[in-house]
Each structure stands twice: as structure tokens, then as C-alpha cells.
Structure 1
Amino acid sequence: MKLFYSPGACSLSPHIVACEAGIELELCKVDLQTKQTESGGDYTQVNPKGYVPALQLEGGEVLTEGPAIVQFLAEQKPDAQLAPEYGTLDHYRVLEWLNYISTEVHKTFVPLFWNGSDGEKERAKIRLGNRFQFVEERLAGDYLMGSEFCIADAYLFTVYSWCDTVGVDTGNWPKLKAFAERMAARPGVQKALKEEGLL
């Protein structure tokens, strides 16, 4: 399988999940400005949406959207136990977290990365503060679902890591800080970060 990624972008989440599951991926870096792959190909021929991640499967099919990709990867290696069993309440709790991170946190960063006005940026920082505070208050264990790592943790770690880059104050979130430090020390996370040139 081939993962189309941009270093440190949301594609880091499925990259982490693959590393945690022991799935070897072929990596193909994408320039999000020019929409070209590192080999000079037109990325929109792979993913017409023009953004990462995209996962090209062995038969040539392409799967897009990070939350779908991380679930797919977890199901390829069920013994790694990166997602709760289908049909259990915990399974839906993980989906709940993936959706919250995707719609309420990830998308709120858009004005901060893509030339929002000063007013849009300030409003985005306020909203992000509220969204991350919600997570801070619900982090009862080492990870989102308690004591064990799951696919939603990879996504939370990825978006939280953007805070310093865009000037979001994280000083009031000690649980999130500890979570990020715990995540950064995981071998799978270290492997993904190194492969993307982020360490």
C-alpha cells in the first residue's frame, strides 16, 4: 500500500497508525501547493480533492479521508488492537472522537494555515482553545479511551502538534501536554516522525 502524505500534515495520523500496527507502507510525499508528488506526478490524478492523506491499495483503489484510512488500517491488523471491536460501545466512542477531532478541531485550523484574515485567525484560536479544553477535561487516562492507545490518539496527537506552529497557547492543558509527550515517546510515533523528516 502507498500513503500519499505531506510532512506533519494530517496524513501523519494514518502514518502513525500503520507504524503502530506494523504495516509497511510505501510513502509518496506531496507538495500541497503545487499538487505534485515527489516524482513529479499530478496528485489530483490520485486524489481529485487535492489534499492528503490518500491510501492507494494493492489493487489500485484509492481510499481518502484520514478517519476512514485509520479505521481501514486498524482492521488490517486486528491483533494490534488499535480499535475496539465493531459493534461495541467503545467502537462508537472512537468514531465519536475521530469525528470530533475532524470537524471541530482539525477544520478550525484552516484560517491559521491558509491565509485567513487577522480576525479569522483570532476567532479560530478562541475556538481551538474551547475545543482543546473539552478534550483536556475528558482525558481521564493516558489516552483518549483510557490506558490503551487507539487510532483516535494518532489524530489528536497530530492536530495538537500544530498548536505551537500557529501560536495557540497550550499552557492551560497539562493533560494534553502529558499526552503529547507520552505519544511522542512511542516507537511507532518515533518511526513515523523520522520517516517524514520531522525528527
Structure 2
Amino acid sequence: MKLYYSPGVCSQSVHIALNEAGLAHRIEKVDLTNKTTETGADYGKINPLGYVPALELDEGEVLLEAPAILQYVADLKPETGLAPANGTLDRVRLQAELNYTASELHKSFGPFFAPVKPEGALKDQALAKLAKRFDALEERLADGRPYIMGQTFTVADAYTFVVASWAKIIDFDLSSRPRVRDYIARIADRPKVREVLEREGLAA
């Protein structure tokens, strides 16, 4: 398998899942500005939508969208516990967490990564929306659980960790959300996650 990625963006969640699962894979960096890969390939021919991740399977099929790819990776190695079994309520709960991260937390960062950054009242509105999303995550962790689904690291953590970590990039203050802050640090300290951060050139 080959993962097309860009450092620090949502493709990192798939990179983490592949590494946590112990699956053999290659990685190829994508320049999201000019839509070419580090080998000079036209990324538009791999993913016409132009964004990462894309996971190219050995038989040539290309999978898109992080929540879908994450579940595919987890199901290749069910013994790792990266996702509950298909058809269970816990699997539905995992899917709900992935969808929340994609449609609410991830989306709320959009204005801050846009070519034209929000200012004034628009910035205040965007920050207020993001604060609500982080408040919800803080509440999710209020019972002391180490991971999103409870006591077991899953692909939901891979995705949530990557997106929540963007708070540092935009200088969003997490001091009033200690559980989220500790959660990010806890995931970052996992050996397999540290390996990914090093490969992507993002190790502290």
C-alpha cells in the first residue's frame, strides 16, 4: 500500500493508523499547492479532488476520505482493536466519533486555514464555534477515559489527535480545557505516533 500524504494534515491520521496496525506501507508526500507528488507525479490523476489522504492499494484501487480509509485499515488488523467489529453498536459509536471530527471539529478550523483569514467579527465567530467544539471534546473526556472510545486506542483517536493538534498552529488557547490538552500529549507520546511525527518532520 502507498499513502499519499502531506505533513500534519488529516492524512496523518491514516499514517498513524497504518503504523499502529503494523501494516507494511510506503508514503509519498504531496505538494498541495501545485498538486504534484515528491516523485513528480500529477496528483490530480491519483485523486481528482486534489486533497489528501489517498491510499493506493497493491492492486491499484485508490481509497479516499480519512474516515473511510481509517476503518478500512483497522479492519485489516482486527486484532489490534483499532476499530470495534462491524455490525456492533460500538462500531456505530466509532463512526459517530469519526463523523463528528470530520464535520464539526475539522470543519471549524477551515476559516483559519483559508487563503484569506477571518478578521474582526468574523474571526470572533469562528473562534467561538471552535471553542464550542473543543468544549464538547473536553466534556467527552470528563469521565477520565484515556481515549475517545474508552480504554482502547482506536482510529477515532488517530483522527481526533491530528485535528485537535491544529490548535497549536493557530495559537488557540487550550489552558481552560486541561483534559483535551492532556489527551493530545498522551496520544503524541505513543511510540507509533512519535514515529509518524518523526517521519513527517514534525517531532518536537
Into which bin does the TM-score normalised by the smaller protein fall? over 0.9
Distance 1:32 1:92, change over 3 A: same
Q: Secondary structure at the match of 1:147?
A: coil
1:80-137, CA deviations, whole angstroms, 9 ceiling, x for partnerless residues? 1110111111111100000000000101111101123314433222111101101110
Contact 1:19-1:192 within 8 A present in 2 as well: yes
Structure 1 match to 2:117:
116
Alpha-carbon distance in 2 for matches of 1:51, 1:107: 15
Distance 1:26 1:183, change over 3 A: same
| Percent identity of equivalent pairs | 48
Matches within 5 A, 1:56-95: 56-95=56-95
In structure 2, the gaps of 5 or more residues are none
Matches within 5 A, 1:146-165: 146-165=150-169
Contact 1:111-1:120 within 8 A present in 2 as well: no
Contact 1:30-1:36 within 8 A present in 2 as well: yes
Structure 1 match to 2:134:
132
Alpha-carbon distance in 2 for matches of 1:34, 1:17: 27
C-alpha RMSD of the superposition: 1.0
Structure 1 match to 2:20:
20
Structure 1 match to 2:188:
184
Contact 2:81-2:152 within 8 A present in 1 as well: no
In structure 1, the gaps of 5 or more residues are none
**1:32: Cα distance to partner?**
0.8
**1:182: Cα distance to partner?**
1.0
Q: Secondary structure at the match of 2:73?
A: helix
